[in-house]
Chain A
Amino acid sequence: MTARAVVTGLGIVASNGIGRDAYWAATLAGRSGIGRITRFDPTPYPARLAGEVSGFAAEELLPSRLLPQTDRMTRFALVGADWAFADAGIRPQELPEFDMGVATASHAGGFEFGQNELKALWSRGGQYVSAYQSFAWFYAVNSGQISIRNGMRGPSSVVVSDQAGGLDAVAQARRQIRKGIPLMVAGAMDSSICPWGWVAQLACGRISVSEAPDRAYLPFDAEACGYVPGEGGALLIIEEADHARRREAPQVYGEIAGYAATFDPRPGSGRDSGLRRAIEQALRDAEIPPDGIDVVFADAAATPELDQVEATAITGVFGPGGVPVTAPKTMTGRLYSGAAPLDLAAALLSIRDGIIPPTTHVRLADRYEIDLVRNAPRTAPVRAALVLARGYGGFNSAMVVRAPT
């Protein structure tokens, strides 16, 4: 009998809301956190908007000992994990240490921390580089810091596959649950809104250069012109179902029911993207037919070619207009590896509340035959949701979450 992986806690940091309830309320109200960058002067750069998290007081949320050694994204991760544990009603110090592991994803590692140390190196000399640079930049540091802070000595890992990584990390957690680990923290927090991070992101050529916050990130719109980056993400407590039941977990949001990952063919080969195959395999893994899915949370890359691939994959599986599709990331910006865990959280909250969050600012182009939930949330029972996430370079991941039984 294969162990079932259920979600019992959520920790969220996003530009339109810090914490699960603030994020969900803002998202249902259609409130966007996208605006002109304030962290540095964006004037010299072609792209000037981002989904910045404001009002996150790390010094109030974390011990001072952790501040000199953590990049912003690690602070999000540590606080997010704290909140996820609290939400799940778990004090990790009380659980056997080898029964808990951490699986995170990362897109950039600790970029701002690294930038500051590079500045110190070149302007003042090697003696001024922090000893903590040795790990604070590294992609796996969130897994490391979460496990150290919470005494979690079970299997821990990191996945780096851009936005797809957010689902890949949760899938890895499910794998560990199936191998016998009772509890995993899984998800991602990313942040690279600093000059060095900005030029690195601009190099991918997919970032919107619009300066109008309400017409910059427009997936499935005729005027789609790239995405707006954001910072933040979500961490989930994933538990073996019986473990959650025995300890009388305060809530079970839902089950990680299905997952698949595929890789695109070489550009120019003429072969189809692997996204549709990922969807079909995830549904088979969940043993749910297309008509059992009540909403699709789209990857929403917002470039015409990528939107077309995604719309075609969705309509190929569900039929034209065959399933509600939404992209609440239009309100937070694209969070890289944090995006899909946040979509999973939103999907689970849709299941809980029977309401689908909207996609904002978009005017749906005719060529995409999808039922896009726009402007206002849609009340509807949600028994199962599909989350899609693609990563730069050809990664496609798909995950199905279903209501608790």
Chain B
Amino acid sequence: MSTAQTGSFTDDDLRRILREGAGSDESVDLDGDILDSTFEELGYDSLALLETGSRIEREYQITLEDDAVSGVRTPRELIDLVQQRLAARPS
């Protein structure tokens, strides 16, 4: 169910990859409005973010530097970062 081919990355893609790579916190409704919650509030620490970044990289064939990934604080910021990289990818 990846949108890698269409060159877009949605919040549902992020939800799936978060779940696959780092599970989900029982007290958090990941299907709810999470775009502007911090990853910390969602129960994801720096390693969870690195793991998520790594999975996005290999599925979408883009590069996300560790600094860039550790710097994002919310799902919206991560989605924006990924979409920027996707747009810059040579077609």
A associates with B: yes
Q: Which residues of B in the span 61-75 have a Cβ within 8 Å of any Cβ on A?
A: none
Q: How far is the CB of A271 from chain B (nearest CB, A)?
A: 48
Interface flag for B54 (CB, 8 Å)? yes
> Do B57 and A63 have beta carbons less than 8 Å apart?
no
Q: How far is the CB of A128 from chain B (nearest CB, A)?
A: 7
A65 to B21, CA, bound (A): 9
A11 to B41, CA, bound (A): 31
> Do A65 and B43 have beta carbons less than 8 Å apart?
yes
Interface flag for A321 (CB, 8 Å)? no
Q: Take A127-B57, A128-B58 as given contacts and tell me if A63 and B51 are in contact as well, using a CB distance cutoff of 8 Å.
A: no
> Do B47 and A63 have beta carbons less than 8 Å apart?
no
Binary flags per residue of A120-138, CB closer than 8 Å to B gives 1, else 0: 0000000110111011000
Count of interface residues, chain B, beta-carbon cutoff 8 Å: 16
Interface flag for B26 (CB, 8 Å)? yes
> Do B23 and A63 have beta carbons less than 8 Å apart?
yes
Q: A65: which of B22, B50, B57, B58 is its contact (CB, 8 Å)?
A: B22
Q: How far is the CB of A157 from chain B (nearest CB, A)?
A: 22
A66 to B57, CA, bound (A): 23
> Do A65 and B47 have beta carbons less than 8 Å apart?
no
Interface flag for A69 (CB, 8 Å)? yes
Binary flags per residue of B19-58, CB closer than 8 Å to A gives 1, else 0: 1111111100000000000000001000110110010011
A63 to B21, CA, bound (A): 14
> Do B51 and A132 have beta carbons less than 8 Å apart?
yes
A335 to B22, CA, bound (A): 29
Q: Which residues of B contact A (CB under 8 A)?
A: 19-26, 43, 47-48, 50-51, 54, 57-58
Q: Which residues of A contact B (CB under 8 A)?
A: 63-69, 127-128, 130-132, 134-135
Apart from A64-B24, A134-B47, 17 more pairs, CB < 8 Å: A64-B19, A64-B23, A64-B26, A65-B25, A65-B26, A66-B23, A68-B20, A68-B21, A68-B23, A68-B51, A127-B57, A127-B58, A130-B51, A131-B47, A131-B51, A132-B47, A135-B47
